[in-house]
Amino acid sequence: MAAAAAMTLRHLVHCALAMAVCFVGLAAIYLQLNAQFVGFAQILVYVGAVAILIVFAILLTRSGEVRNESILAPGWIPGILAAVGVFAVLAWAVLNSLALPSGANPAPEVTVRELGDALMTRYIIPLEVIGLLLTAALIGAVVIALRQGEDAE
Partner 1 sequence: MTPLQGCLLLSALLFAVGFAGAVSRRNAILALIGIELMLNAANLNFIAFWRYGEPDGDAAGLMFVVFAIAVAAAEAAVGLALIIAIYRHRRTTNLDQMNELKG
Q: What part of residues 45-74 is at the interface with partner 1 (CB under 8 A)?
A: 45-46, 49-50, 53-54, 56-58, 60-61, 63, 66, 70-74
Measured CA to CA, the distance from residue 148 to residue 121 in angstroms comes to 42
**Is position 12 an interface residue for partner 1 (rule: CB under 8 A)?**
yes
User: Which of 64, 98, 107, 125 lies at the binding interface for partner 1 (CB under 8 A)?
Assistant: 107
Query: How many residues bind partner 1, per CB under 8 A?
Result: 83
Alpha-carbon torsion (31, 3, 62, 11), positive or negative:
negative
**Is position 149 an interface residue for partner 1 (rule: CB under 8 A)?**
yes
**Is position 144 an interface residue for partner 1 (rule: CB under 8 A)?**
yes
To partner 1, the closest distance from the beta carbon of 108 in angstroms equals: 5
Q: Considering only CA atoms, which of 56, 29, 55 is closest in space to residue 42?
A: 29
Show Cβ contacts of residue 115 under 8 Å, excluding neighbours closer than 6 positions: 37
